[in-house]
Amino acid sequence: MTGRRTRIAIFSVSAGAGHVRAAEAIEAAAAAWFPDVEATHVDVMSLVSRAFRKTYADGYLQVVARGPAVWGYLYTKTDRAAAESRLNRVREAIERLSTRRFEARLRELDPDIVICTHFLPAQLLSRMLRRGTFDRPVWVQVTDFDFHASWIHERMTGYLAADDGIARRMTERGIPPDAIRVTGIPVMPVFGEALAREACAAELGLLHARPTVLLLAGSAGVTAISTLVDRLLALDAALQVIAVAGRREALLDDLRRRAAAADGRLVAVGFTTTIERVMAAADIAVTKPGGLTTSECLATGLPMIVVSPIPGQEERNAEFLLANGAALRADSADALAAHMAALLAEPERLASLAANARRLGRPDAARRVLEAVLAGRSAVEDRPADVVP
């Protein structure tokens, strides 16, 4: 490949934002630190039929929002399903009919290396590798603090794990240790920058010395966010709240009305491309425990109160954070208020949570991913093609 840059294709799936954000982080890291690499991110959902996209991505979001217990059942059921089960055979048949443009885009990119931040492109590439219609290294980036059977596919070059515990779970599932790299979950390079809290708080109109809670819109799983804001502001006259509504315009309007009557203690934020600066102004985040959101918090040393995790990967993410002392869990507004009251009364507990978050954080994960796949490229021929039984 002498004479041109190494081409890396990064395939995600926009079923939730996390898989896409991980892919974007790897692409950004390549642009920032690897001048000899040309990285291109592609959302597989941009290559499939509208019907498939509605069923696959939109269907996932609807099940999670309306029937989290159903999603938990499906998560467990598919984790136990054998690779040749009827369920998986039907799923593969549907995917074959719906993703032909994926193969055309892959030929167009002609990558030297592929990284998948979702299991769908890994499955499609596994089939191509078996058929002999593709022969380049394919790496799988797992985007949660858990490992589900859906990530396991034949002929993958290697797997990129969030931490050592997830790597051990991978080996228990039959993946050889030499096919696993512990990199962390990729976050944008900016999360590795040292940000001044005073400046970040001033940008939001807040006082940097006051205790500050960051409330992310995903926490609607507990109760109405407006209720959470009211409960938090009632705890302590010095407490400040940053409430991020994202793209939810009606919620943002409601939060702005509340902020106008909150004497400067509430800041409403809509969609932002600088969430790292918002995080730098806070002492703790109240959030759903998605893999990417929690990784971003850890990368900035921001502890969490995780709220109402959905059964499945969010439950496993929450277990990881609690076991490592970087988060507390609240499944109701009362529990959230109780946790915050205790932390305000015992600031050393909050400091301990923050120290554990910093210890777990991997702000350089995206760079480590690229280093791993570039180093592993030369060793592909030295290992068996099939890395699972």
Question: Are 157 and 253 within one domain?
Answer: no
Question: Are 257 and 327 within one domain?
Answer: yes
Question: Are 375 and 349 within one domain?
Answer: no
pLDDT score for 90? 46
pLDDT score for 388? 43
Question: Are 214 and 107 within one domain?
Answer: no
Question: Are 93 and 19 within one domain?
Answer: yes
pTM for this model (two decimals): 0.88
In a domain, 312, yes or no: yes
| Overall size of the chain counted in residues | 389
Q: Annotate 75-122 with three-state secondary structure.
A: HHHHHHCCCCCHHHHHHHHHHHHHCHHHHHHHHHHCCCEEEECCHHHH
Mean pLDDT by 10 residues, the chain (389 residues): 83 88 98 97 87 61 54 56 50 59 94 96 93 96 92 95 95 95 97 95 96 79 75 94 90 92 94 95 95 96 92 90 97 93 96 98 98 78 45
Domain that holds residue 130: 6-187+364-382
Question: Are 182 and 135 within one domain?
Answer: yes
In a domain, 387, yes or no: no
DSSP, res 211: -
Domain with residue 257: its CATH number is: 3.40.50.2000
Question: Are 35 and 173 within one domain?
Answer: yes
Residues 29, 60 contacting (CB under 8 angstroms): no
pLDDT score for 368? 98
Number of domains in the chain: 2
Question: Are 224 and 177 within one domain?
Answer: no
Question: Are 136 and 69 within one domain?
Answer: yes
Per DSSP, the three-state class of 186 is coil
In a domain, 1, yes or no: no
In a domain, 79, yes or no: yes
Question: Are 201 and 83 within one domain?
Answer: no
Report the amino acid identity of residue 16: G
Report the amino acid identity of residue 367: R
Question: Are 135 and 251 within one domain?
Answer: no
Question: Are 150 and 255 within one domain?
Answer: no
Per DSSP, the three-state class of 36 is coil
In a domain, 92, yes or no: yes
In a domain, 171, yes or no: yes
Per-position DSSP letters for 272-341, written without gaps between them: -S-HHHHHHT-SEEEE---HHHHHHHHHTT--EEEE-PPTTHHHHHHHHHHHTTSEEEESSHHHHHHHHH
In a domain, 389, yes or no: no
pLDDT score for 71? 46
pLDDT score for 221? 47
In a domain, 105, yes or no: yes
Angstrom distance (rounded) from CA 248 to CA 215 = 14
